[in-house]
Amino acid sequence: MIRQLKESLKSNNYNEAVYLVRFLSDLVNCHVIAAPSMVAMFENFVSVTQEEDVPQVRRDWYVYAFLSSLPWVGKELYEKKDAEMDRIFASTENYLKRRQKTHVPMLQVWTAEKPHPQEEYLDCLWAQIQKLKKDRWQERHILRPYLAFDSILCEALQHNLPPFTPPPHTEDSVYPMPRVIFRMFDYTDDPEGPVMPGSHSVERFVIEENLHCIIKSHWKERKTCAAQLVSYPGKNKIPLNYHIVEVIFAELFQLPAPPHIDVMYTTLLIELCKLQPGSLPQVLAQATEMLYMRLDTMNTTCVDRFINWFSHHLSNFQFRWSWEDWSDCLTQDPESPKPKFVREVLEKCMRLSYHQRILDFVPPTFSALCPANPTCIYKYGDESSNSLPGHSVALCLAVAFKSKATNDEIFSILKDVPNPNQDDDDDEGFSFNPLKIEVFVQTLLHLAAKSFSHSFSALAKFHEVFKTLAESDEGKLHVLRVMFEVWRNHPQMIAVLVDKMIRTQIVDCAAVANWIFSSELSRDFTRLFVWEILHSTIRKMNKHVLKIQKELEEAKEKLARQHKRRSDDDDRSSDRKDGALEEQIERLQEKVESAQSEQKNLFLVIFQRFIMILTEHLVRCETDGTSVLTPWYKNCIERLQQIFLQHHQIIQQYMVTLENLLFTAELDPHILAVFQQFCALQA
Amino acid sequence: MPLDANLKYTQGFFGGVTTAKLNQEPPSWCPHGATSNDLSILCNDSSLELSEYWDQKFSGDNDEQERLLMESSTLYVGNLSFYTTKEQIYELFSRCGDIENVYMGLDKIKKMGCGFCFVEYFNRAEAENAMQFLNGTSLDDHIICTDWDLGFREGRQYGRGQSGGQLGDAFHDDFNVDRGGFGKQAQVPVNFTLSSFVRGPVRWT
């Protein structure tokens, strides 16, 4: 088992390692392992805190492994070796005092300390263990079947653990990210039921650990998972439903990312509501109410997840909710978190149903927060548009589209469109002409407005025209601008069109990033759909790089296999086959480099635009003498955080560039703080 | 902090499903989405297993069909309302991953929605998310069912029932306003027997 433990640690499998340590600890309780040898192992663990030039997260893990085993074995170890244990404790306390906690604000779900402080996980665990020690290691929650057999076990032969040296830190070691402990309930929330253990009690730790463990084991099978959760042993002594709801939201809102895909938690909660229809829905509704009340200080990324969870959940229960309870949001500034939340939820509910449905279930007082009817806006549609430049061409195009014109026919109609940017036509005839783009995109999208299918067909059929018009960077940006003007009432359509345009290479990822930060989008900058588009764009870029890297790997493997076969068969004829494959590998290598470069450029563009837009705001506030902390600012700075958190693995590759080029010491401290917190996450 | 409002969080909110429609499991003629009731914890991926459906019109043998299904990243989605739109399907299924395509099932004669569709993901893992987390949940107030599909080919979007819609819609005799009213058999007095177009294990498409 010690070998297994070493293997887990070497292969960065820290979850498994923690369970192994805990199991070994319980073996001490069974008198299988001699306590002193376990103490020796923990001494070695805690001595990692003395290591220099290693990431803090490495030291953190060893301390965590030690502390988290104590609820199981603290009593035994203290009884046998209290002096040594005290020494280990002093060492641990020393370490916890001096370790840096720059990363904590980035991981907190709420920025407020009340009603429940968002504690760093090691601090919380330390407080819990301290309390356990003070209570003389009395712990009643863990199942201890060995107690019943104590008389037999205590006569068994004990074994000593071999001395355990923690494997050294290597370049490839990746340690678990630090966490913040999510708390939303305490004993006052369920006054009638059993008392909820306090936040610094070890019972709370054990219950939460066990519930997280159940989810980790059964998350793929929601019926099993729900059944296991509600049949938690000892459930009569604790307000189990509150613990379950808290643990599930803890995972859903975890930063940087939930352990599992968001939608799993939604369907797990639905399953739990079905299993316990008399008790769980009330707790869940109470939790929803509490989350709503604390929206003002909730991290924007967590608010996004709250919006998605709540709308999906409601769609499974006919959108029944007591909206009037939330009337307080109607009198607030529409940009503040609560009305914004309601607006975004209603928009998502509409996407899962249809516009009239929303109008039907929302009380009349809330109509200002209802989403717009997702209709298309065509600028050449009515009589007043006669005077608009390009109007006649638009009409001509409409006729052509309806009579199934070809790309060439469209090109010839567009040839006559004057370019407002130039005095005379240049020779190529197809340089960036915003008016051409305007009439073409407006008219085509308007005619294809009926459904997604129509719009996708339109993009496919006239792909050639799109590619030509959007050849330059300005062209790409303008295509996106015009598309947005047509569909600004239908964010879902905007998202799918951007997706298709990237996939068919009408626009590229950098163009989308620049468009999002453009002035045309400033009014909608804080809306959820904008950020969903940006993150979806980044994801596409990431997936593209991975795909080509995989192709390269496969080609290299194929070549290696061919070489091996050749050396086995001594067959000269395959020399020729090699040549083609080597050429392919070279091409793929270039492709990979170019894709990686495009990926890096995308992130640099995004960070640069963030810095510009935030600096502008900070400077303006300074000169005007107004407070920096507007709702817009909170949203924007947390969106910057979100980029770091959601794509942290890729961004880690660019740290040097970011530090030297963008996040330099001259930057405003507000913005630099975000970068420093990010660096601290794996430092 | 106790909430006085505790009292009003009655069963109506979030739980105690009240309308008959939501209580409705997929109709008996649609065998999808039935995860095994016995909690065989050791069997971790039962939600990804193949159902009993075999496409009668597939031109290869059963082994090949099984192999394709095990690798597929396309899902069949059934028990939809006839009025559910592609937009709604996109919204729901996007929560599991990036969608490549959605093909709406059409009545062969009327060329209108007839209650099923195909959702194609770019990779298998994201399709598995949908099988695990959307199967048996609600879309447009219908409990949908998902199943692995061989992959879309032109022609597969049409219902295979005699009246143009799905096979199962011919035979139910309850009134379902979102699935064309009464079963087609009740509507159109045509004399046809079950045996004339059913071969082997049944899926009513």
CA-CA distances (angstroms) from residue B51 to A611, B33, B134, B148? 53, 8, 16, 8
Closest chain B residue to the Cα of A224, Cα to Cα:
B39
Percent over 90 (pLDDT), chain A: 70
Contact between chains at B14 and A281 (C-beta distance less than 8 A): yes
DSSP string across A605-673: HHHHHHHHHHHHHHHHHHHHT--S--HHHHHHHHHHHHHHHHTHHHHGGGHHHIIIIIS-TTS-HHHHH
Which chain A residues are within 8 Å of B122, Cβ to Cβ?
543
Please indicate whether, in this complex, the C-beta atoms of B1 and A115 are within 8 angstroms of each other. Answer: yes
A224/B95 Cβ within 8 A: no
| Tokens describing residue B16 | 């105690």
Please provide the average confidence, as pLDDT, over all residues in chain A: 91
Among chain B residues, the shortest Cα distance to A190 is held by B2
A282/B9 touch (CB, cutoff 8 Å), yes or no:
yes
pLDDT grade for B204, boundaries at 50, 70 and 90: very low
Quick check: bond before A256 cis, omega within 30? yes
Query: For position B189, what pLDDT does the model report?
Result: 40
For B137, which of A276, A316, A318 is closest by C-beta distance? A316
Residues making up chain B, counted from first to last: 205
Cα→Cα distances A667→A283, A652, A660, Å: 46, 20, 11
Residues near B106 by beta carbon (within 8 Å), at least 6 away in sequence: B112, B113, B114, B157, B158, B159
Each residue's pLDDT tens digit, A590-622: 999 999 999 999 999 999 999 999 999 999 999
CB contact under 8 A, B132 and A264: yes
Q: Which of B14, B22, B140 to mutate to test the interface with A (most CBs of A within 10 A)?
A: B14
pTM higher than 0.80, yes or no?
yes
In the chain, the amino acid numbered A253 is: F
Q: What is the ipTM of this complex?
A: 0.92
Q: Which of A186, A188, A352 to mutate against chain B (most B CBs within 10 Å)? A: A352
Question: A188 and B41: CB-CB below 8 Å?
Answer: no
Q: Is the dihedral of CA B197, B199, B204, B205 positive or negative?
A: negative
Cis peptide before A374 (omega within 30 of 0): no
Mapped onto helix, strand or coil, the DSSP state of residue A137 is coil
What's the whole-number mean pLDDT along residues A115-127?
92
Reduced to 3 DSSP states, what percent helix, strand and coil does chain A have, rounded to the nearest 5?
70, 0, 30
> What does each C-alpha distance from A239 to A71, A208, A243 come to in angstroms?
21, 12, 7
pLDDT at B23: 34
Q: Give the integer Cα–Cα distance in Å for A346 and A355.
A: 10
Distance CA A489, CA A266 (A): 28
Picking from A269, A316, A321, A494 by the largest number of B CB atoms within 10 A of its own CB, the best residue to mutate is: A316
pLDDT average, residue stretch B111-126 = 92
Contact B132 A308 (CB under 8 A): no
All residues at 6 or more sequence positions from A432 whose CB lies less than 8 Å from its CB, including other chains: A421, A472, A474, A475, A478
DSSP A499-529: HHHHHTTSS-HHHHHHHHTSGGGGGGTTSHH
**A39, A80 Cβ separation under 8 angstroms:** yes
Chain B residue with the nearest C-alpha to that of A115? B1
- Two tokens at A459? 């993009």
CB contact under 8 A, B86 and A453: yes
**Which one, of A297, A300, A363, lies nearest residue A115 by Cα?**
A297
Q: Is the pLDDT of residue B13 over 80?
A: no
Strand, helix or coil for residue A180:
strand
Interface contact flag, A220 B47, Cβ < 8 Å:
yes
With tokens 């970068």, the residue in question is A675
A316 to B138: CB separation less than 8 angstroms, yes or no? yes
Contact residues, chain B, for A227 at CB < 8 Å: 39
CB contact under 8 A, B3 and A289: yes
The pLDDT score that the predictor gives to residue B5 is 36
Section A314-335 average pLDDT? 94
In angstroms, rounded to a whole number, what is the distance separating the alpha carbons of residues A597 and A575? 33
Structure tokens at A287: 């939790």
Count Cβ neighbours within 10 Å for each residue of A101-133 and write b for 16 or more, e otherwise: eebbbbbbbbeeeebbbbbbbbbbbbbbbeebb
The partner residue sitting opposite A353, judged by closest CB among B1, B10, B140, is B140
Query: Which residues in chain A have their CB less than 8 angstroms from residue B24's CB?
Result: none
A493 conformational bin, left if phi > 0, alpha if psi -120 to 50, beta if neither = alpha
- Residue B9: both structure tokens together: 């969080």
The answer to which of A72-76, A261-265, A524-528, B32-36 has the lowest mean pLDDT is B32-36
Residues of A in contact with B44 (CB under 8 A): 218, 220-221
Q: What is the CA radius of gyration of chain B?
A: 18
Quote the CA–CA distance of A26 and A124 in Å, as a whole number.
Answer: 23
Closest partner residue to A224 (CB to CB) among B13, B39, B122 is B39
CA distance A268 to B69: 26
Q: Residues B31-79: pLDDT tens digits?
A: 333 333 333 444 456 778 877 777 777 777 888 888 888 889 999 999 9
Q: Mean pLDDT, to the nearest integer, of A577-595?
A: 88
Contact between chains at B14 and A285 (C-beta distance less than 8 A): yes
Residue B89: which of B117, B47, B121, B112 has the closest Cα? B117
**Pairs across A and B, CB distance < 8 A:** 136
Question: How many angstroms separate the CA of residue A410 from the nearest CA in chain B?
Answer: 27
